[in-house]
Structure formats: C-alpha cells, structure tokens
Structure 1
C-alpha cells in the first residue's frame, strides 16, 4: 500500500471498482488472510494453551462471521463474544466451534443460547440460577463458566461471593442442569508488562481456583490472558487465552510492542475518494467554527466521510490522511458526513482531482497512516478506531481464509 494510492493503481484503489464506486462513498477493506495469519502466530505463541478468538463488537468492526471463520482457519479453536445476539449469529451462520458469551443481564432470553450450545458466563449465584432455569427450559445443560473478580473491578464474583457462586454451580451440575466448563477472570493492566497488578491478579485467580477445589468444583478450562498477557506473560496462559485486538493486527499497548515488532498484520484499511477539489485564497476559513484558516492560497479536498462513518470528531485538525502522493491531516472540524484536507504542499496537489483515492488508515506500508496513528492523534486507542467504523461504511473482504471451497469469504455461500 503506498502512502497515497491513486485511481491508476488498482491495488491502492481497492480493486476494479475501488472505494466510493458503489452506493456509499467509501469502504473498509478487511484482509481475512491477515486475520488468519495473526491467529496462527498467536496459536504458536500460546501453545500449549488453546486460543479463543475474541470476535465481539462485530469482530472489532471487521465483520463477525468472516473474521470468526478466518480466525478458526488460522488455528483458533474457540470464539468469544460479549452479547447473546453475537453468539446466536455465529450459530445461525453454521459456526460450530465453542463460543463463550460473557455479558448478559437478568431479563434477557438466555434459553436460546443454552439451546444452541453456547457457553455462558456467570458472576453470581443468582446468575447461575437463571442459567440453570434456562437449561431446564431448553432441555440441555448449560455450558457454564464462572468469572472471578481478581482486581479488574468490573465483572466477576468477589472473594466473598465466590463460594456461593461455586455452590450454586455445583448444585446445578448435580441436577444435570450445568456442565462446569471454565473458570476465568480478566486482567486490568496487562498492557503494562512491568506493573505488579498482573501478578497480584494471577495470585487472586489461583486463590479462587483453590477455593473452588475445596468446595469440590474443578474447571477443565482456566482462562485469564488477553492479547497483552498472551504476548508477554506465559504464567497467565493457563488452558486457554483470549486474544482480541492482536487478532486484527494491532498492538494491545505501547509497552507490549508495535504490530511490526510483534509480527502482526493490520487487517483493515479505510478508503474513500475526494468528492471535490477547489482552489481557495489565503484567509479562507474551513469547516464549522473556522478552527482552521488557510495561511496561503491553496487547494482543499473534500473527503466524504465523517463521524457518522466512524471518523472520530477528535480527529479534527489532527487525523492523518494519505492523499495526493503524501500525508496530510484533517483541516478544521470533522463533520457528520465529511471533512476537509488542505492539499497544499503535497507532491500531487497540482494534479489532485475529485475521484482521487484517500486512505485514512491501513497497514502502514509505504508510510501510509495506520489505525494506531489515528489513535495517537486522537488521544485514544487502536481498539476504538477500528471498532467505531460505522456499518454505513461497507466492508469489502480480500483473501480466502475461512471460506468453504468455492464459497465467498465474507458469506461462506457456495458459488
């Protein structure tokens, strides 16, 4: 990928049609082979622990089902999601691998997930009871994981509540309503490899496992490590690891390493085309509030993507963009559907025209911006940059990882 792809470059333009030649003004291009390659690398690093590919939030914006299939093709053997609807969508698409769903609330219909063989998490005796009743209604035991609070301060049973949750799980198991599959927790600061909290959380997790054993409960699948812990702390890997962001080729944090240092391939690129190019004089205010004013006669380019497409409003004045043979930044405020770039000084400014390809981020090859460049500019993290790419921006898939023979990689449909 060049720093500034042009319509004359089919690879840079995203294929024969290219971004903005359909019903929408741009596209997110997702490389399924990159996801599979990242999964394979993580499988190798995690061994002998198994790998659960976390595909929550529409696979961090990459597409739930295509990304799940690609991760499984790369060697992951489990999938992880936050929402019941995500788990059921995987099952509806024919995905039969173990799927863990960890975020649900009383009042939701968990029976369908139990009936579909989805693994479900509980953090309290009350939650175990709800799942047991759902299992009774579904006519099959729930595949149960208990989450322990070890210092994250979010989900999980506290040390005081953990024994009651374990007893409830044992009771459900004795009644044939629950299969005790896993015990797990989540690390708060694994992206800071030298911080003592990870070790403290491991100790708390071991204490929870010991307490469960004393009550007569054993869990064949123990899991704690996210992407950062998988890559930096072999002691946190246990039986199963849960990489998310690394699966999509981004780093879980600066302290862990860059994608290149970790051997990861960013899987998403966001591209569009200039909608308008025009010459303006010095002193021209740009976009709402005129937070940018031209300091010389220059050329402005109108980029037809905005915060409704997932471009952070925080990118106003700072978001990096590849266009006209070089890199520039957003000029003025990001609007709902569009933003402006000042093309002055770029190598191809004099030849720039409506229809030229603009790349917001990609794999960084050739000096183009990456999702992590956007995160740094906007004061956020790469996770948010890719996950917030709106459904209004269509996904186009490249690569064949996870596709059935003769099938389309995105849908799995034959033909």
Structure 2
C-alpha cells in the first residue's frame, strides 16, 4: 500500500462532518512537524460550532529561480453529512475497496488531495532539503459549512502578520473525465437576493378588491430573464441570473395572496460588480412599479489567476505525469480560493475526479492517488527549486 493511500484511508476513517475536524489535523501535524514545519492550530467560532484551522509553514532558504518564494497548499478536512446510511454499500467512515475504487465520505472531496499534498511534501523535502523555497499548508474544518470561521479567518490573520504567499494550490476535486483534464484558475462570484413583492390579500372571486403580487411580479421576472448582464470574457462565461424558489399563497385555492417571496442568484464574472448588478436589477423592478423589499447576500466575489508561472508549472506537471494536456476553467461553484486570492496573486485548484462528490458512495480511483501526489511534487519542483 502506497503512503498516499495509507494516509487517505487514515483521514477517511476520522468522522469529520463539518465543522468537526475529527482529529485529521492532529494527524497532519504528526507528519509535518518532523519535516521542520511550524504548526499552529487556530480555533474560531462559537462553542456550538467550533472550527479548527491549521497553519503550517516551513521556511526554506531558496535558490535559483525559486527566489525564496512560498507555495501554499490549501484544503479542508471537514466533509458533508453522509445522507441515509442505509443507502451506502459500506460504512462511509470505513475506507472500503471495490473494483479499483476507494469508497468513503471525503474520498474525493477532499481527503485524497490532502494526503497527496502531505506525501508530496515529504518526498520533496527528503530529496531537496534546504535548497528549496518555503512551503505552507492552510487546512480548515469549515469549508463545507458557513465558511465564516475557516480559511477566511486565517487569511485575515496572515494579512495582519504581513505573510507573503506567492502561489497557492487548493486541492478541490477539479478533474472531470480523467485525472488532470481540468485546473480551476478562478471562480465566479455569487450574489443572492430574497425579493418580497407586496400586494393586497383578498377573495379570489373579487379580484378588484385585492392586488395579486404574483401577477404584478410576473412581467418583471420575464424581463429579468432577458437581460444581458455581461458577455463574460476569455476566462468566464457570461453572468447568469436564476430564480431558485417562489413562495406565495395561503394554501387555499380561493385566496389571493398578500405577498410573494422569490429567491434568486447571480453567478457573475469579473466583468460585473455586485453593486452594478444590484443597481440594474432594482431598475427593472422599479420600472414595473412594484412594492417590494429586497435583502441581498454576497456569498463571494469572483477571482481569477491569469495564465502564469503557477498554472504553467502545474500544466507541465500534469502532462509529464499523465500525458494529459489540461484545460483552464472557472466553472462550478464557490471555493475557499475566493478568500486566498485576497492575499495571494496566483491561486489554482486541482484535484481528483469530481463525479461522486457529496454523493452516496463517494469514491476515488485508487490508481489516481499516486499520480496526483506526483503532480503536486512535480509542481513544487517546478516552482521552488
């Protein structure tokens, strides 16, 4: 059994449903401290939702093209709930092998990546010692949860300390059909709204005595679906606006409701800003003469790492290890990269196949574990030697 597989299984066996770390980070410290890493545990959040974060850094001398730069790996030890246990073919916290796959909650998202990072670092340090640049890890137990006491808190602390981070690899599962076919070099922003349109409740047989807010808002919704918010750019698709929920009515068939509540979301590119999107949407609602309240929630701003040293080094590593020419993409949901990009100029995400993440019987191809580890190690060699 390879070192990567052993560590992956050890991490999966720890029950770390968000925000619990389940002892995963303590295990990582046991592996990192002997390599010369200074390991700091940073706890945050209320007592009933305590988050554990790990900041571990090894200062290298650096030489040649590394120039003493720091490469940080980032990830999360927390996992989503298992769902109905009866639907799993095996215990989600007992690593299980079937047909060349390793099953368990977190196998793909993202305990395999964390194990591959740590073993890659062990091999790299053993081979190159002090001749390399600096390496760090930022690990949280609050990525699958609210994400308010995890990576964002550590990034704020590192900024206060004046810590310089040159490159960051986030171990999110990004591969689609085969290991290495996709790197995320950015993510769209997310902006949500809860719109309450007010009318006048009344008997459905006397509509002239009521004011139906569903009828009022329908033309506005139709107009919003036709707006071109932006056209995207080389890296991002056009901004998308989508309704996710509509709630209206008393449940009775003979009552016109007094209000309707609509949840919607923007997934937006770097061509738009939250303020501009808010202003344009308000203008459409106002043009339709609606009486409404609107509460906004900014889930995260977009981030982008243009083609550069990090994406090129990782692309070269993937090609050398797998023969796959990778694709840069900004598709998908949000990640902790949105926080790290505030303190690090080059952030990419790369990890195993994402087909089974958050699903019953989450799994990873066993044969992909060591190639993933080797890609991380080759990237270290490409940037820090």
Q: Same fold (TM over 0.5)?
A: no
Q: Which category of TM-score, normalised to the shorter sequence, fits these structures?
A: under 0.3
Tell me which of the two structures has the higher relative contact order, counting C-alpha pairs closer than 8 angstroms and 6 or more residues apart. Answer: 2
Write 1 or 2 for the structure with the bigger share of strand. Answer: 2
- Using the size of structure 2 for normalisation, the TM-score is 0.26
